[in-house]
Structure formats: structure tokens, C-alpha cells
Structure 1
Amino acid sequence: MTAQPAGRDTAALRIAVIAALPQTAPPLVEALRALGHHVPVVVGYRRPADWPGHVLGEHDLPPGVDLALPSRPESVAALLHAYAPDAAVSYGYPRKLPAAALSAPRLGTVNCHPSDLPSYRGPNPVGWAVRNGEREIGVTWHRMDAHLDTGAVLARTTIPLDDTMWSFTGVNTRVLQAASPLLPQVLRQLAQGDPGEPQPRREATWAGFFTDDYATVDWSADATHIHTQVRAWNIAGHHPRLQGPVAVIDGTRWKLRRTTLQQPPPGTGRRITCGTGNLWVLAADPLDAA
């Protein structure tokens, strides 16, 4: 389905945003308010004990927008009923929402997924796209149903996945820059009761979290493979159970953050001779206690 430009021709709606990060919720709130809609609440996510960065706080949201932090997904339905939204818009929420929550808004719940569905369903679509050497990724707005990333498609587009994209935050920014202009079309379809188009009948693929087999750097491998491994892990973002990519340098374990295949300026980076070619480590975090 090719997205067509849509004007602000949908009557003002009450729309709940479901998003857990400061890089995702505020841009969605801003985009919806710019279209004349009212956002009464953002449903966020409580900070896990092992979460390494900033999570969404009330100071990230504009005045008049409440922040709700349910203790469990089963609480989301009651929260949404209390705010009585016409629709809910989700992006990057880290837990599967129960059917009662998805059906609480009068017009339903939609999600933005950073892949060309049904390819790369799951929590780590861009990480797997990098790992597989993709040069672009899809951006798909779809209705949410009982299963993860299987709902009918309302709009889609693509964005380049070039070598300048290195961080989870950076990917989210570019995805939302592409997804936000599609919101008028998506909301108009919701208001009109458009069920959307079933996902294409090509084979679906699953993009789960990386596992142990991809977590350790093998310096005897090809330098390009290792470089891709580092980039894929950093774009994938926080893993709830596993550190990666972990490499041993001079007997110390490091979590690699940035590498390059091109020799950097003198005094920059650490050169590693790999099985095929050289790789320069530009940034890494030590994992072993001093």
C-alpha cells in the first residue's frame, strides 16, 4: 500500500499515546497535537532495574498531558477506559498489550513498526536488518491485534538504512520522521472504520533479541562481519538479558560501541588485526572490574 498525502481532514480526536521512551513519546504527542488532536495521556513503562539509560518522565511531556506508568500490562485497559480516548497510537512499547487494552479506545489501537511487515516482526527488527545487510527498512502503521505485529496495514513507507545509522535513538528519530507524515491518513482511516489491508501473504520473518551465538566477538572472523556485528548490537539497543557485542582486548572484556573499517586520524581508535583485514575500535565500555 503506497501512502498518499492527507490533509487535516479528520475531526479532532482524543488520542492516547503508548510509548516508553523520551525519544518516542514526545515526537508522537507533538505530531498529534499539531494535527489538532487532543492527547490526554501517555502510557509509559516503569524503569526496569537493569535499564541503563533515561526512561520517559513527566518533564518530557508538554503541560496538560498526563503520564501513566502501569505496574503490569493488564492495567493498561483500565487506564485507557478512564481517559476514554477515541484511539491509541503506539510505538516501541516493550510489552505485549492484552486484547482488552487494544480494544479500549473507541476506534482501536494502531502501532508503528520499523519494518516492511510481515518481514522482521518482533522486538528487534532494525538490529536484524543490519545483521542481514539490508540497505533500507520499512516503516509500517498497522492495527494492533491479539498477536505481535500481525494486524492489518494502514500505511507504509521506507527509509534508507545507511552506514551513518549507529544508535537505537538515531533509528527511532528517523523512523518517526518518516511515520509522522502518515498520521493524517492513518487517523482518517480509523475514523472511517477502514479495517486496513491484511499483511501480504509472503513468508513472515521474526526478529527476536540476539542470542549467545551473536554476543561474542571472534577476532579471527572477517573484519566486515565484526563491524556489522557491532553496529547491529548498538542499533538493537538494550537487551534485557544479554550483553553484546563483547570482545577481549589485552585480556580485558569490552562491550564494543563503535568501530570503523577505515583507518581513522592518527591517535584515534585501536587497530585490531582480524581474520581478514583490520578493524579500528573507536569506543568501548570495560566490563571487567579494575
Structure 2
Amino acid sequence: MRWIRPLVVATLAVALAACTTSPTGRSRLTLLSEAQLDQMGAQAFAQYQRDTPTVGGAPYRYVQCVTDAIVATLPPEAGDGGWQVRVFDDDSANAFALPGGYVGVNLGLLEIAENQDQLAAVIGHEIAHVLARHANERASTQTATQLGLSVLSSAAGLEGPGGEQVMAALGMGAKYGILLPFSRRHESEADVLGLRLMAGAGFDPRASVALWQNMGRAGGARPPEWMSTHPSHGQRIAGLEAEIPGVLPLYEQARRAGRPPRCG
């Protein structure tokens, strides 16, 4: 087992070197490069387009208008504004943004988001995931967790059926104690950053509360929050309501600057 200690030391050294700070000041682990993330985003977006039909016309122009308004206010390091937008012929109320500058919105979401402000709440939230490098952090955390379990298994000599059961239990503990809470933190952080993005683009941040109320009415049964990758609707709405007063000045400033878009 002499090799285990050097491996642990080397792993810790890499992890410490890869620790960065999120836009909200939270420490995070990011092992992947921006080029790797952009390539992964491009591949995922291309695959999604192969698997799901896209929609043009008015729905596309509508989503493009809202996205362009938000992207126009992003800092230079977030891209040159050339984000690709697609609307997918899918009835589920879902949307996503990917590293490299890709935004996808399902038709089903346009049934839930009643106006451009509510749609901006979703798009701002998804773009915030990209700006905060949540995909990098998620992949890095999973990699570090799997490596840690592997080292623990070797160090403890967990072999055979009994060892497999112990490792399965450890894996469940890692999933529900580390990976899922990280995802809930990502969602809450994207809510905060998304409010700033939509308000700075001239969309009313108060519409985010109405959007999630719509989501709650339209949604079905949900797993217990501790088993979910997302906060409960009630917790999410409460978090948004707490943050809205702080971003209303951004919204008013954008309105005075003539920035409120008219996407229809």
C-alpha cells in the first residue's frame, strides 16, 4: 500500500491547484480547460439537434430576441455575442445553455413562460450556469469523488461481495451527500446570477417568481428535496424573492437607458 499515500498527496495537490472562486465568491473545483468545455458543449449541442427536430419562424425569433438582449450585456470574457440559439419541438418545459455559447429552448417552455420577462428568467438562469462554469465543477467533483472512493477501496482492502456492498453504500453516500447538494448549490447560484443578467438586460426580475409559480402548477410529483438535483419550488421562490430587491436598481437603470427589449 506504499503507493497510496503519494497518490493521495498528488491528488490533493492537483485539487488545490484547481480550486477557483465562483462569481458569487464560492470556492469550487475546476479541473477542465475552457477549450475542453467548449468542445463538449459543441458536441452535446450537435447531438441534441440530431436527436430532436428544431422549430423556426416566430418561436425561434422570439427566443433569439430574448437571448440576444441578455447576451448583449455579458462581459467580453463571456464570448463575442455569437451564441447559437435553437428552439426544439419538444413538449417538455425545459431549456439549457452549454459552454461554447449555445442556447436551446423547448416549445413546451413557451407554454409555461407567459411573457418575455418570464422567458428571460429561464434563459438568464441557463446562461448563468455557463458563466459560473458549473459544468466544469460538476464533472470535476464527480472525478474527484470517484478517485477518492477508488483510493479508499484499495486502502481498506475492500474486495469480494462484502467489499462491493460497502463500496455501493459509500457510493450512495457520495451521491446524496456530495454530488446532489453540489447541484442544488449550482441551481441556487444560477438563480442569483440569472436575476442579475435579466435585470441588466431590461427584463423585470419579479417575473421570475411568477414563472416558478407557473412551473409549480404545471409540474407533477417531485422526489424529496434531499434526493433532488434542484431546490423545491417553495425554496427557490423564497430565494428569488430575497434577491429581487437587490437587482431592481439594475432593472431600473436598464429601463432609463432604453434597454427594455420588445420581443413580443
Q: Which has the higher contact order (CA 8 A, sep 6+)?
A: 2
Give me the TM-score of the superposition, normalised by structure 1. 0.23
Return the structure number with greater helix share.
2
Give me the TM-score of the superposition, normalised by structure 2. 0.25
